[in-house]
Structure 1
Amino acid sequence: MPAAERPVARVLPMLSVAHLDRPFDYLVDEKTDAAAQPGVRVRIRFAGRLVDGYLLERLETSDHGGRLSWLDRVVSPERVLTDELLEACRAVAQRYAGTLPDVLRLAIPPRHARVEKEGVAAGPAAPVASPDLGGWAPYPAGESFVRAVVDDRRPRAVWQVLPGDDWAQRIAELVTSVAASGRGAIVVVPNQRDLDRLAAACDRLLGDRCVTLAAGLGPAARYRRWLAALRGQASVVIGTRSAVFAPVVDLALTVIFDDGDSSLHEPRSPYPHPREVAVLRTHAAGAAMLIGGHSRTAEAQALVESGWAHDLVASREVVRAAAPRIEGIAEDDRRLGGDPLARSARIPTTAFDAARNALSAGLAVLFSVPRRGYLPSVACARCRTHARCRQCRGPLSMNDRGDLSCRWCGRPELRFVCPACGARTVRALMVGDKRTAEELGRAFPGVPIVTSGGAKIVDDIPEGPRVVVATPGSAPRAPDGYGAAILLDTWAQLDREDLRAGEDAMRMWMDIASLVRCKADGGRVVVVADAAGPAVQALISWNPVGFAAADLAQRHELGFPPAVTMASIDGPGLAITSFVEMLDLPAGAETLGPVPLPSGVRRPAGMEAEGDVERLLLRAPRSGGWHLADALRAGQNVRHARHDDTAGIRVQIDPPTIG
């Protein structure tokens, strides 16, 4: 028998086809009436098979004129899909031309029945004391920003962390203030290393009122912590990428730290960036938002220039006092007179002098190299042609035993023969961390050498003089800060054919320079790059805001995101051309390409090893971005409904790599 009241359940089936991205009506019987509430997981029969779904709402009648099927069963009475989370996921699906089921798969972890049965902890949550906010004093608007968050005035800011400041402690103080006011907060960081550092700071202030969400947790632990936020046991959630969807009760603040890190790029459809998810969610929920980091992305700068967010930066005097002395290699630098090979040498004399002075003062020195390995990139010794794998055309690398292998497919190259000139020997194009550590061990005999990168990452080093060789993002922290840092092979970061090359280089360099002691304490950073370059100049003056503003102005002039909305369509050439022909593009939209897919970009699923893959770009004015997304969604609906033979096509709004 149907339920006595509201017998119709509107259910969203968790299907991956675009034209079925809509709710369907089912009948609820008396047996499942009490458990069949909005937000619960259910099982329904769809096209002859049982599929998962979410119950969205209960109705008295259905618009469907035919016979309705019965709801098969309620998987769990836990209402995991809240109204606020559903609204946010819908906005994300629309923004990224995706489907709501795909976004819900990112937002809600798989169910773990035993964890659900554990129930809610008895007793009220432990009270949280308001923290000392003196650490925000160097930022003129820092303390007022925290007060505005606590007073529910919904401020939004982009925060430039001072060099040497403990960003994890500042965020912990901020979210503790929110928790003390009885509301909730979410913090998203790029990787597990940053998460561990933030968790240590939050645990001291929040205890069990804060939970962490990360991919490394097992299914049971992750679901238990997710439910703690849903049930109101935890008011603060910190985590990596998907934590931005955490079901925090009474959300007051979302913090995104280091939004330019590539670890935040979602590899699953519809590829939403946590920064954009946070913007959509905080706007809909009426919450505050903070984007922080040592550097600044063009997207964050666009939010400031549009008036959506305001600057949260320290004064120039405070910045200059906190920053180390930073030097580049200028064309007219008089110090190079006694070192004629300085501009061509990998480690010039000025860099060695900085390292020797720091070591003699009993401090650690950091050498940053862009790649792991021994010789991660090699070329023909005679004609300088890049050495490539004969199977997949990937770059060849050499280990410390002199063996060649492909960096992409791992295939060993037993005998190299240059296809251009026939030579059989290679030379280094780039030196990795292992070879660099070997060279520095000879240059500084008796000094301990520490390497950090890849699978072996060192978080902290003891006091005393030592040489650290690290890849970007893996540098350990020194107890009293590094005495000097040397940035090597910067050309590998700046010369990439990618829109974000300069932005990424600035982010890596500033993260490294922030580990060095201030200028008054003798801290020194040497950038082995032309000091006249815009990125190096911005680093020397510690001006990430100016660099981001100039970068954004250039993107406006050239028509690149975030000045415009851009969509990439990857796949076989004929397939993407036929797909674009069916789109009803908004006014002012342009078609660019197709061209071969840029190297280093992940291929669409099912096309990793076969067929030629091309990329076509669609560009529309920022005001028409939503219309472009709607056109792409409509095109995918038609394609799936027709069972069009275009499998392998990948549609992505504002792709992270445009090269």
Structure 2
Amino acid sequence: MGTSFLRLDSSLSRADRYENYLKALNAPDCIVLGARSAIFAPISNLTTVIVYKENSHEHFEKRSPGCNVRDIALLRRDLESIAVIFSGYVPSMELSALIDTRKLQYENHSFKLNAQSFSSDDGTLLPGRIFTNIRKALKTGPVLFMVPRKGYGNALLCAHCKNLAQCSCGGRLSIGYRNAPPICTVCAQDYPEWMCSWCDRKKPYIAGRGIERAAEEISRAFNGYPLILSYGDVIKSNIPHKPALVLATPGAAPTTENGYSAVVILEGLSFFSHPDIRAQERARELFFETAAMIEPKGEVLLSIPDDHPITSSIVKWNPGAMIRRELTERDEVALPPYVQSIVITCAISEATNIVNGFKRAVSDSRLPSSVKVFGPTPALKGESRIVIYFDIQEGERVRQFAHELQRRRSIAKKPLLTLRVDPYSF
């Protein structure tokens, strides 16, 4: 084609990366493929920016100022009059709101998939009716099982009284592998002689199956087929296209030539049940991305209640109905993307004073009445988190207030707060 190709990412050596950066500055006709920071590259005669999976957490900068690729791409579009294309399976809530208000054009590839849901009423990993479909698919090629968790057992209950097994520090106990002693997920204290603190019984029950426990159950159910696991530090990039049981955690599914005979998403509701604001969005993306890995005549088998809307969305290959419903719900309760947010992380000892300070600023009209302050709540490393919501129209005023707070803390030689405007999640 005569078009040069350049990479800009951290896997290159510093010398190669800088060389490619200089080439991108002057090349009259080139394609630049890069990671998050490449969105800032001053490419010569730039005409188009294509962002793949803009809702990925990898597109959000972890260091200050905490910008994200989507917003920078839209700013460059307005400033430089370039085209911006967002490509992926499911748009983020922010992008969906722009589509809903016709600020972005949405194009969807219409397709019909063979997808079925199978409800598990007794807590089993594989609902009874799903076995026939899996056996049929195994006759022609590999079957992918998407498992929500790594490890062996991620939660432990007392088999007698069903109380959650906890460490003395308050962390939950888990089991890393078969016959391993329970270990605390927070402080790593092990309990080789575990005993329930409520009823003094010594028989544990594994409540949260990890991929290794799921592999045991699935290999027993479909004996005689090769078992391939892809997760954590043992990720497989691709596998041969022949009958096999392939288990993977999110983001670790290997590819196979022509696709899988079937993909099975296990414990479907658990993907939608994470306690953060992007849980639904992330689950939709995972379901569609996993479903896209089947061969043309393959099946998508979901272990999820029959009335869950994700099934019909995958059949129609259109997440629009689910997205519109969530947008409506967020609008009704004033959640992003219909409001902006600032998340403050600070020392526990300061959290209450900071919350009270923001509330006083609202009552004194130094901040607009639209400001809502939530928290403090526990964060990582013994810190506290404060979440502040405010109307988009009042954004500049609230951000200036937060900036002034940081400036005064700096003058007073106090530790600076960690501030994030519209972060990935919280």
Other-structure match for 1:241 = 36
Residue 570 in 1 paired to residue 340 in 2?
A: no
Equivalent residues of 1:379, 1:387 under 8 A apart: yes
Structure 1 residue 515 displacement after superposition = 0.5
Q: Give the aligned residue type for 2:425.
A: T
Equivalent residues of 1:376, 1:430 under 8 A apart: yes
In the alignment, the residues of structure 2 paired with residue 625 and residue 482 of structure 1 have an alpha-carbon distance, to the nearest angstrom, of: 47
SS in structure 1 of the partner of residue 144 of structure 2: strand
Measured against aligned partners, the alpha-carbon deviations of 1:536-574 in whole angstroms (never above 9, x if no partner) come to 443343221222222112111111111111112222223
Equivalent residues of 2:236, 2:254 under 8 A apart: yes
Residues 654/417 of structure 1: CA separation in 2 closer, same or farther (3 Å cut) = farther
Equivalent residues of 2:111, 2:316 under 8 A apart: no
Measured against aligned partners, the alpha-carbon deviations of 1:434-469 in whole angstroms (never above 9, x if no partner) come to 222222222222211111111121121112111110
Structure 1 residue 408 displacement after superposition = 4.2
Matches within 5 A, 1:241-640: 241-314=36-109, 318-320=110-112, 323=113, 325-329=114-118, 344-360=123-139, 362-391=140-169, 393=171, 395-518=173-296, 521=297, 523-571=298-346, 572=348, 573-577=351-355, 580=358, 586-597=367-378, 603=380, 608=381, 610=382, 613-640=383-410
Q: Give the aligned residue type for 1:291.
A: F
SS in structure 1 of the partner of residue 234 of structure 2: coil
SS in structure 2 of the partner of residue 398 of structure 1: coil
Structure 1 residue 290 displacement after superposition = 0.9
Residues 566/377 of structure 1: CA separation in 2 closer, same or farther (3 Å cut) = same
In the alignment, the residues of structure 1 paired with residue 146 and residue 37 of structure 2 have an alpha-carbon distance, to the nearest angstrom, of: 30
In the alignment, the residues of structure 1 paired with residue 416 and residue 216 of structure 2 have an alpha-carbon distance, to the nearest angstrom, of: 45
Residues 637/480 of structure 1: CA separation in 2 closer, same or farther (3 Å cut) = same
Equivalent residues of 1:588, 1:621 under 8 A apart: no
Gaps of 5+ in 1: 1-127, 130-205, 331-340
Q: Give the aligned residue type for 2:90.
A: S
Measured against aligned partners, the alpha-carbon deviations of 1:393-435 in whole angstroms (never above 9, x if no partner) come to 2553331232222334444334333334333332111111122
Structure 1 residue 507 displacement after superposition = 0.8
SS in structure 2 of the partner of residue 403 of structure 1: coil
Equivalent residues of 2:406, 2:417 under 8 A apart: no
In the alignment, the residues of structure 2 paired with residue 289 and residue 499 of structure 1 have an alpha-carbon distance, to the nearest angstrom, of: 26
The aligned length equals 420
Measured against aligned partners, the alpha-carbon deviations of 1:291-319 in whole angstroms (never above 9, x if no partner) come to 111122211111112332111123xxx41
Matches within 5 A, 1:110-125: none
Equivalent residues of 1:484, 1:524 under 8 A apart: yes
Gaps of 5+ in 2: none
Q: Give the aligned residue type for 1:287.
A: I
Q: Give the aligned residue type for 1:390.
A: S
Q: Give the aligned residue type for 1:357.
A: K
Measured against aligned partners, the alpha-carbon deviations of 1:261-303 in whole angstroms (never above 9, x if no partner) come to 2233322122212111211222212111111111222111111
Residues 490/563 of structure 1: CA separation in 2 closer, same or farther (3 Å cut) = same
In the alignment, the residues of structure 2 paired with residue 380 and residue 656 of structure 1 have an alpha-carbon distance, to the nearest angstrom, of: 36
What is the aligned-residue identity percentage? 25
In the alignment, the residues of structure 2 paired with residue 372 and residue 233 of structure 1 have an alpha-carbon distance, to the nearest angstrom, of: 47
Equivalent residues of 1:589, 1:618 under 8 A apart: no
Residues 275/369 of structure 1: CA separation in 2 closer, same or farther (3 Å cut) = same
Residues 570/292 of structure 1: CA separation in 2 closer, same or farther (3 Å cut) = same
Residues 633/460 of structure 1: CA separation in 2 closer, same or farther (3 Å cut) = same
Q: Give the aligned residue type for 1:354.
A: N
Q: Give the aligned residue type for 1:258.
A: K
Equivalent residues of 2:149, 2:249 under 8 A apart: yes
Larger mean Cα displacement after TM superposition, 457-466 or 380-389: 380-389
Measured against aligned partners, the alpha-carbon deviations of 1:15-54 in whole angstroms (never above 9, x if no partner) come to xxxxxxxxxxxxxxxxxxxxxxxxxxxxxxxxxxxxxxxx
Other-structure match for 2:11 = 216
Larger mean Cα displacement after TM superposition, 443-452 or 540-549: 540-549
Structure 1 residue 579 displacement after superposition = 5.5
SS in structure 1 of the partner of residue 145 of structure 2: strand
- Greater radius of gyration (CA): 1
Name the structure, 1 or 2, with higher relative contact order (CA <8 Å, separation 6+). 2
Q: Give the aligned residue type for 2:18.
A: Y
Residues 655/246 of structure 1: CA separation in 2 closer, same or farther (3 Å cut) = same
In the alignment, the residues of structure 2 paired with residue 529 and residue 567 of structure 1 have an alpha-carbon distance, to the nearest angstrom, of: 35
SS in structure 1 of the partner of residue 206 of structure 2: strand
Structure 1 residue 479 displacement after superposition = 0.9
RMSD: 2.4
Other-structure match for 2:420 = 652
Structure 1 residue 488 displacement after superposition = 0.6
SS in structure 2 of the partner of residue 530 of structure 1: coil
Residues 342/486 of structure 1: CA separation in 2 closer, same or farther (3 Å cut) = farther
Larger mean Cα displacement after TM superposition, 394-403 or 481-490: 394-403
Q: Give the aligned residue type for 2:403.
A: R
Give the structure-1-normalised TM-score.
0.60
